[in-house]
């Protein structure tokens, strides 16, 4: 099908009366089918119980206080808590502001002494945040608001009198800028600090040294590279930025430790290395390498503290924690590794300040609840204590996690985690659901997934394949699955599915696939390239029209990852796999459930509408092609617990029905 003969182009306009009518018909049909599925009512009850387990975020220190998010019991949204003197109290509960549960806390930044928190709220999952300020002592609102602060990056001044922050023009998805806000002033008077003349698609992150003298801004170009600019605020021109790095081809992630920038970079190091840059002498010839690249592991995260540096590596998609101790004279020396993590566990976050001895480390497992440890450097090494943890109300020993390795069609080894109940016989008779993502340098490490329990308890297998395009093995792995190499991601996925079947882990006639966003693109491609391989597919908030994706919402940010459809050379490889353009008529496509949301401000819902219509018109099979457009949700962030329960029940009832679970 050629783009010039697009009979479903009208579905790109969500307000077109034809689109409104089409959506109503599709939603009614989908609800009629899903609500009648035999497993669904029981799954709603089970997910209601499992989602009471809640969540726990990694705390961020502000003075003697620690701030963190957590969702507990039947709370519809995660709330912001503060711990002081060992006592937790709710600082901000979005549901108290909006009993419908549709308002979410998008982001938050405590001030250096923990007296004020800047935070962003949005509604219906649209992520178009408005910034608010809250006094911590009395949990009292300041009354100041700043609009257009989607995905805000913010750096407080040391005296808490104001902050640097990112903001967009009114109603815009591009041209982010950095401003300086002084508390008590109106936001329209904020000084524009950085961004004028920069490419409209760049994103900016301000980071201020603890003493407030030096400000760096990271200018990000997608997930591929960034520049670093430095301003000395003690100078005659406090916002005169000089380039430290202008790199078209490498990532520099910089954090302050005193007057030194501690930088994680993949320049000349695909697995990343750690360097130090003195703000007083930032010339490249004065840079010091703190930790060289490790060929066997990728440096995934780092956190500088007052007395050392914690580094989190990925080795074969499993976390390994190392640390460096302060060696005096502004040097750091390697001291050892923390150890203690098991298969299926991972570090999900690490936070520290260079004026505090504490480092907070968050870990989870597929079936182990989130846990936060407090690390502190001592004379003999490093001290570890549990800061908080959430226990799952089921026994993880009743389930097994194994890591398997398969080979893609070009010989590349692809790792895959496989989960099952310990009592499930892996003899080629079990149904399986395979999940993948493969993009944007994002590592698919183990995450806490209590929602898998009903599927595993029903005798199902769940597998997560670590595909090229992700970040699991460094930048070479990432670039091996982007732009003209994107087909590698899909081939890796097929190899994982075939491995499950060939090694009798799963029944080859009962393999389903699941993915969202870039992973939704993966599932959509798999449906049109290898429909015979799968029995069912759940495709959430997907990209499907790769020749027009860049025309909607924030999608121009992804051109570095996918390619530019307006460039004929890029359009050729995009057209070769674009799911919407490669649907074939009279093919028996497997049972498919496509889910999107009207308030998605990342991936336009038109992708799902057009792809669903095209599949429905093309399939020659009897299995349903279902499309559902949620009216009060977005890309996924901020979805209330009640909607999560309904969505999970739909997804797993669908898989159980079309993968033959009794």
Q: Is pLDDT at 328 greater than 60 in this prediction? A: no
Q: Is pLDDT at 339 greater than 60 in this prediction? A: no
Supply the angle between the helices 641-658 and 40-50 in degrees, to the nearest 10. 140
Per-residue model confidence as pLDDT tens digits over 126-175: 999 999 999 999 999 998 999 999 999 999 999 999 999 999 999 999 99
Mean of the pLDDT values across residues 255-262? 97
Mean of the pLDDT values across residues 180-195? 98
C-beta neighbour count of 330 within 10 angstroms: 13
Q: Is pLDDT at 511 greater than 60 in this prediction? A: yes
Q: Are 79 and 70 in contact (CB under 8 A)?
A: yes
Residue 1 pLDDT grade (very low, low, confident, very high; cuts 50, 70, 90): very low
Among this protein's residues, is 443 annotated catalytic?
no
Residue 379 pLDDT grade (very low, low, confident, very high; cuts 50, 70, 90): confident
Q: What contacts 77, CB < 8 A, 6 or more positions away?
A: 71, 93, 94, 95, 101, 103, 104, 105, 638, 640, 641
Per-residue model confidence as pLDDT tens digits over 611-620: 999 999 999 9
Residue 36 pLDDT grade (very low, low, confident, very high; cuts 50, 70, 90): very high
pLDDT given at position 266: 98
Residue 450 in tokens:
């209590």
Q: Are 435 and 484 in contact (CB under 8 A)?
A: no
> Among residues 181, 271, 322, 635, which one is catalytic?
635
> Among residues 517, 578, 599, 613, which one is catalytic?
517
pLDDT given at position 345: 78
Structure-token match 């549990």, residue found: 386
Among this protein's residues, is 517 annotated catalytic?
yes
Secondary element (H or E) of residue 116: strand 116-123
Structure-token match 């490093």, residue found: 382
Q: What contacts 472, CB < 8 A, 6 or more positions away?
A: 298, 314, 317, 415, 443, 444, 445, 466
Q: Is pLDDT at 235 greater than 70 in this prediction? A: yes
- What is the CATH topology of the domain spanning 55-189? Methylamine Dehydrogenase; Chain H (2.130.10)
Locate the domains of the chain by residue range: 3-49+394-658, 55-189, 209-270+279-290, 294-389
Residue 580 in tokens:
């919407």
Residue 634 pLDDT grade (very low, low, confident, very high; cuts 50, 70, 90): confident
Per-residue model confidence as pLDDT tens digits over 587-621: 999 999 999 999 999 999 999 999 999 999 999 99
pLDDT given at position 3: 43
pLDDT given at position 338: 67
pLDDT given at position 325: 84
Q: Do domains 3-49+394-658 and 55-189 have the same CATH topology?
A: no
- Give the phi and the psi of residue 532 in degrees, each rounded to 5: -70, -15
pLDDT given at position 326: 76
Mean of the pLDDT values across residues 400-423? 97
Q: CA 389 to CA 347: how far, in whole Å?
A: 14
Q: What is the pTM of this model?
A: 0.96
pLDDT given at position 329: 47
Q: CA 631 to CA 492: how far, in whole Å?
A: 34
Secondary element (H or E) of residue 59: none
Q: Is pLDDT at 344 greater than 70 in this prediction? A: no
Q: Are 556 and 525 in contact (CB under 8 A)?
A: no
Per-residue model confidence as pLDDT tens digits over 51-108: 998 899 999 999 999 999 999 888 889 999 999 999 999 999 999 999 999 999 999 9
Per-residue model confidence as pLDDT tens digits over 119-133: 999 999 999 999 999
CATH code for the structural domain at 3-49+394-658: 3.40.50.1820
C-beta neighbour count of 435 within 10 angstroms: 24
| Average confidence score pLDDT of the chain | 94
Q: What angle is formed at CA 81 by the lines to CA 77 and CA 85, rounded to 5 degrees?
A: 160
Q: Is pLDDT at 372 greater than 90 in this prediction? A: yes
Mean of the pLDDT values across residues 337-364? 84
Mean of the pLDDT values across residues 491-504? 98
Per-residue model confidence as pLDDT tens digits over 264-307: 999 999 999 999 999 999 999 999 999 999 999 999 999 999 99
Q: CA 424 to CA 421: how far, in whole Å?
A: 5
Q: Is pLDDT at 330 greater than 80 in this prediction? A: no
């Amino acid at each position: 099908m050629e783009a010039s003969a697009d009979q479903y182009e009208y579905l790109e306009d969500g307000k077109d009366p034809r689109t409104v009518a089409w959506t109503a018909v599709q939603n009614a049909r989908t609800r009629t089918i899903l609500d009648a599925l035999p497993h669904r009512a029981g799954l709603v009850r089970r997910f209601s119980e499992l989602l009471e387990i809640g969540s726990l975020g990694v705390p961020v220190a502000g003075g003697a206080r620690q701030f963190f998010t957590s969702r507990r019991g039947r709370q519809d949204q995660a709330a912001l808590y503060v711990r002081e003197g060992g006592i937790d109290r709710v600082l901000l509960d979005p549901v108290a502001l909006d009993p419908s549960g549709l308002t979410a806390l998008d982001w938050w930044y405590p001030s250096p002494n923990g007296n004020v928190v800047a935070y962003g709220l949005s509604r219906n999952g649209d992520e178009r945040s408005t910034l608010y300020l809250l006094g911590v002592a009395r949990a009292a609102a300041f009354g100041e608001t700043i609009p257009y602060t989607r995905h805000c990056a913010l750096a407080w001044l040391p005296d808490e009198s104001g902050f640097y922050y990112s903001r967009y023009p009114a109603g815009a998805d591009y041209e982010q800028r950095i401003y300086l806000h002084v508390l008590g002033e109106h936001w329209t008077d904020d000084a524009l600090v950085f961004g004028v003349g920069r490419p409209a698609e760049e994103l900016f992150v301000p980071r201020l040294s603890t003493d407030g003298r030096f400000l760096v801004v990271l200018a990000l170009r997608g997930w591929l590279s960034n520049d670093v600019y430095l301003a000395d605020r003690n100078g005659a021109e406090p916002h005169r930025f000089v380039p430290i790095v202008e790199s078209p081809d490498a990532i520099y992630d910089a954090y302050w430790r005193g007057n030194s920038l501690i930088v994680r970079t993949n320049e000349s190091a695909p697995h990343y290395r750690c360097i130090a840059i003195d703000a007083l002498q930032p010339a490249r010839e004065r840079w010091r390498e703190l930790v060289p690249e490790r060929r066997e592991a990728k440096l995934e995260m780092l956190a500088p503290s007052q007395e050392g540096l914690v580094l989190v590596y990925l080795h074969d998609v499993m976390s390994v924690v190392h640390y460096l101790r302060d060696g005096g004279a502004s040097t750091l020396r390697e001291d050892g590794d923390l150890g203690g993590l098991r298969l299926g566990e991972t570090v999900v976050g690490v936070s520290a300040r260079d004026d505090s001895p504490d480092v907070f480390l968050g870990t989870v497992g597929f079936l182990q609840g989130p846990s936060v440890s407090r690390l502190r450097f001592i004379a003999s090494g490093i001290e570890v204590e549990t800061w908080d943890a959430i226990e799952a109300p089921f026994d993880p020993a009743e389930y097994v996690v194994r890591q398997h390795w398969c080979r893609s069609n070009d010989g590349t080894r692809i790792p895959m985690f496989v989960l099952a109940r310990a009592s499930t016989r892996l003899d080629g008779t079990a149904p399986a659901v395979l999940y993948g993502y493969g993009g944007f340098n994002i590592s698919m490490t183990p995450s806490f997934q209590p929602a898998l329990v009903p599927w595993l308890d029903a005798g199902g297998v769940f597998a997560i394949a670590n595909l090229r395009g992700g970040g699991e093995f460094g930048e070479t792995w990432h670039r091996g699955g982007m732009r003209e190499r994107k087909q590698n991601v899909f081939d890796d996925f097929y190899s994982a599915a075939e491995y499950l079947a060939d090694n009798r882990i799963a029944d080859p006639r009962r393999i389903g696939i699941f993915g969202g966003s870039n992973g939704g693109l993966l599932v959509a491609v798999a449906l049109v390239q290898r429909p015979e391989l799968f029995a069912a597919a759940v495709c959430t908030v997907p990209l499907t029209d790769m020749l027009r994706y860049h025309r909607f919402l924030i999608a121009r940010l992804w051109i570095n990852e996918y390619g530019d459809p307006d460039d004929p050379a890029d359009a050729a490889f995009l057209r070769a796999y674009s799911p919407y353009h490669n649907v074939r008529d009279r093919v028996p496509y497997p049972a498919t459930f496509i889910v999107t949301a009207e308030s998605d401000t990342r991936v336009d819902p038109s992708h799902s509408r057009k792809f669903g219509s095209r599949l429905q018109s093309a399939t020659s099979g009897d299995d349903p092609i279902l499309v559902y457009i949620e009216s009060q949700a977005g890309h996924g962030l901020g979805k209330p617990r009640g909607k999560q329960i309904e969505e999970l029940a739909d997804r797993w009832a669908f898989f159980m029905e079309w993968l033959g679970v009794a």
